[in-house]
Structures are given as C-alpha cells and as structure tokens.
Amino acid sequence: MKIAEMEMCEDVQVDAVLEVKAYACPPWVARPKVVIYEDEEQARAIVEEYKPGQVDIYVDASVRKGKTGIGVYAMPSRARIAKTVASSDQVDTRLTELLAISEASNWPWGLSCMARDRDGAPAPAPSIRIFSDAQSALQSIRS
C-alpha cells in the first residue's frame, strides 16, 4: 500500500463501518426470478395479480438526515419492519434497497407473516413475491 493510501485510511472510523455479510447462491439452488417492468401499467397489473395463499412483500429504502433506513411490509398480514441500517456516508440507496430485499427474503416466517386461507386463518404461503421500485438493485440480483 502506498503512503498516500495509508494516510487516507487513517480517517476511516472502523468501529462505525457497516458489516455486510458475504452472500453467494450455490449452483444447485434456484436463483430468484427477477422481473423488471419498464411500463407502470404492467407493474400495476402484476401487483393486482394476487392469488389466494400467497404473500406479497413490499420493500423500500430511504436516505434522510444522514441516515439510511429500510421498510418492509407484508400482505395480507400487514406485518412490517422499519429500521435504520447505516449512515449515508457508508452506503448508497442501491445497497440500502438490497439490504431491504435481503431483510424481506430472510423474514422470520412466523404467524405474523403468513398467508391466509379462504376462512382467514394463517396458512403456509405457497408463493412469496417481493416488490421493489429500485431497478438498479433488481438488476444486481438478476445478474
């Protein structure tokens, strides 16, 4: 490492660095299906294509006042997660959206976020869809 690079690293506050765990998808595990619609009408149509028993999870990320946060909302249970994840100096909105998608995909699948059967009782979800408005994050997952 060059001296100039070492001096630059001295300013980094290591105790405040966001820890991002390594993630890899083994070849024998099916990759998630990622669909990106360019047209708002098509995107709205897929949202309305709800089938009984499935769970739809909506994610979003935001950057405000120097902090980044995520929001996760599941239907039909209406369970939600909202939390601050890092300083805006550490991550950008694309990475924050990826963290929101990761949070949704690792949801603790208890009774708070299950599908509902025809009688309204909790039931295991045969299908889970995660919706995000961040095309750059979705393209990262797809590639």
22 compared with 46, residue with greater pLDDT:
46
Q: Where are the domains of the chain?
A: 3-142
Q: pLDDT, tens digit, for every residue of 30-87?
A: 777 788 888 888 888 887 887 777 888 899 999 889 899 999 998 877 888 899 888 8
| SS3 annotation, the chain | CCHHHHHHHHCCCHHHCCCCCCCCCCCCCCCCCCCCCCCHHHHHHHHCCCCCCCEEEEEEEEEECCEEEEEEEEECCCCEEEEEEEECCCCCHHHHHHHHHHHHHCCCCCHHHCEECCCCCEECCCCEEEECCCHHHHHHHHC
Q: Which CATH class is domain 3-142?
A: alpha beta
